[in-house]
A and B are shown apart, each in its own frame.
Chain A
Amino acid sequence: MLQAADVTFAYGSRGVLHRVSLQVPDGGFAGLLGPNGSGKTTMLRVLAGTLKPASGEVRLDGEDVSRIPRAALARRMAVVPQETHLAFDYSVLEVVLMGRYPHLGTFEVEGPRDLAIARQALEATGTGALEARRFATLSGGEKQRVIIASALAQIAGGEGARGSLLLLDEPTVALDLAYQLETAALLRTLQRQSRVTIVISTHDLNFAASLCDTLVLLREGRVLVAGPTDDVLTPAHVAALYGVDADVARHAAAGHLVVVPVRRSDAAP
């Protein structure tokens, strides 16, 4: 169980998060939604432990994440940032193998098992053919999938029975529609078959609706509403969040809620 309690965070004097609380059960799939600047990415970084909240705390199975040793946390929790720029010209396989570093002893190098795990992760994300390519030469979508593969390698075979977690920041930004569907399918499989707990931040309501069990709507750093996707994704909440009148309906073929923005609402929040 990943929990945030009353998390407040500021960059300098500019407050970004105000008493944000949320919880994601083991095996859950949660989405942080909100317009640009609502604090989604910051919240994700706080959940990942890379930002320390000014007040409040983040707990993983009841333990304060800032007290969990970094390497131990890394074996359970992987983070996929929105964009990755490498300072040096690593190959795709090298990038994915970096996911294995938290599992290695101080001066140990990757062994055959790590290599097997990395190749498996590449296969799972459909990037097996890119293995020998230079990461910098890939398209945005390919990079994204390779970084997801690296994250999968990172949480593979980790801390025994305790569930692992995957945090993704705006996973759809670099992806065209086909890869969005593919990524969605991959994440769904991970959640259902491997019981990976997943948290994504996104501004893509439909992508979130197609995947998430629970949603947290953030507006100006505060929780507007949180709960099961079907309860949260209503025309009233969309209007309050974006100032847009929208139709929300269950799409028969896709099998999830779909949000269609219709017009800017006059009663902007």
Chain B
Amino acid sequence: MTPIRRRLATALLGFGVLAISALVLAPLVGSTPISLRRAFDRSVPFADNVDAQILFVARLPRTLSGALVGAALASAGVVFQGLLRNPLATPFTLGVSAGAALGAMLAITLGWTLDRLGVPAVAGASFAGALAAVAIVYALARARHRGLSTDVLLLAGVTMNAFFSALILFVQYFADFAETYRTVRWLMGDLDVSSYAPIVTALPLVLASFVAFAWVARPLNLLSLGPDSAETHGIRVETAQRAAFFSASLATGAAVSVGGPVGFVGIVVPHLVRLVVGPDHRVVLPSSALFGAAFLVGCDVVARTVMAPVEIPVGVITALIGGPFFLWLLIHRHGRTRTY
């Protein structure tokens, strides 16, 4: 067995078991103990079965959305880091989350409640905002160059982040207290979906981007050598960069529409995974998707239980873990010649 095959098999097995364990265990844990036997007792009508309600209405959709958001953000982080050739990039570096936040906050402030195609207005508006930000950043990065300049991409993304944040403050200034509160809660990142609708809508988008991720994994390895060398290794660099940019943006937009801009998943998870499996994107991508799911589901269990019965938004937990980790990473990076 060649090293890559062995590593792929080991990593998928290890992180797969981790993800499945998280998915199975998380719904069983919470501030209210539940009995599985009663939850699955068909003789009690669902309306009277509190255990079943907690399991199927509160915890299961929450766990599933955590898995979906975690997998999407972690793997999108890997793709953005590979595309920008920068291990410190995140899914939000290029303005996707700021666009999504603006969309969400417009929906909240203007009181949009229309459920188009069964999608809650806030989720739909945040996804639209994410796409708008992506389109603007892409247009800017294309305008100055023949190809797709990752430097301009980065600058455009950072600028759009700042600009959208200013717009958010501007809209917020005119919002009333309740709207502002809802917006702030949204910005913290929260998996309290209480419905399967957002998951069902986001799932096909995330799966579509995963197909693209499988294809861009090998080109991302080559892009690490630099665009010229990637090209002489037989790939069309611009096609690969475009595929990476749009698929990672799609996954991020879909994830943010479900759980808000949950921070740090997209950087903590890829780095931990690389420490274990090495930098090969063909191993890092699926591993990060699996570990990202497990990580966010785990963080959400902490968020639900650590101050029970108060539930903390999961974004606060990921930031509390991710912030110090990020700093450790920076120091570690400077202390050695290794790239991370």
A residues with a Cβ closer than 8 A to B are 45, 48-50, 70-75, 77-79, 81, 84-91, 93-95, 97-99, 101-102, 104, 106-107, 109-112, 114-115, 134, 136-137, 154
Name A114's closest neighbour in chain B (CB-CB). B2
**A101-B234 contact given A89-B340, A91-B278, A115-B3, CB 8 Å threshold:** yes
**A134-B87 contact given A73-B234, A106-B215, CB 8 Å threshold:** no
Contact A78–B87 (Cβ < 8 Å): no
- In the assembly, what is the distance between CA of A111 and CA of B225, in Å? 22
Contact A85–B226 (Cβ < 8 Å): yes
B residues with a Cβ closer than 8 A to A are 2-5, 8, 82, 85-87, 214-215, 218, 221-226, 228-229, 231-236, 274, 278-280, 282, 337-340
- In the assembly, what is the distance between CA of A93 and CA of B215, in Å? 22
Chain A-chain B contacts (Cβ-Cβ < 8 Å), number:
103
A210 vs chain B, min Cβ distance (A): 26
Contact B229–A89 (Cβ < 8 Å): no
B280 vs chain A, min Cβ distance (A): 6
8 closest pairs, A vs B, by CB?
A74-B234, A102-B234, A87-B85, A88-B279, A71-B234, A79-B232, A87-B224, A89-B339
Which of B222, B223, B229, B236 contacts A79 (CB under 8 A)? B229
B82 CB contacts on chain A under 8 angstroms: 87-88
- In the assembly, what is the distance between CA of A74 and CA of B233, in Å? 5
A56 vs chain B, min Cβ distance (A): 19
Given contacts A50-B228, A101-B218, 4 further A-B contacts (CB under 8 A): A72-B234, A98-B222, A99-B233, A110-B4
- In the assembly, what is the distance between CA of A85 and CA of B218, in Å? 18
- In the assembly, what is the distance between CA of A74 and CA of B222, in Å? 13
**A87-B5 contact given A75-B234, A98-B222, CB 8 Å threshold:** no
Q: Could you name 15 residue pairs across A and B whose Cβ atoms are closer than 8 Å?
A: A49-B232, A71-B234, A75-B234, A78-B232, A84-B229, A85-B226, A87-B224, A90-B279, A90-B280, A98-B221, A102-B234, A106-B215, A109-B282, A110-B2, A154-B233
**A70-B226 contact given A87-B87, A115-B3, A134-B338, CB 8 Å threshold:** no
Contact A77–B232 (Cβ < 8 Å): yes
A74 CB contacts on chain B under 8 angstroms: 232-234
- In the assembly, what is the distance between CA of A45 and CA of B279, in Å? 28
Name A134's closest neighbour in chain B (CB-CB). B338
B10 vs chain A, min Cβ distance (A): 14
Contact B225–A86 (Cβ < 8 Å): yes
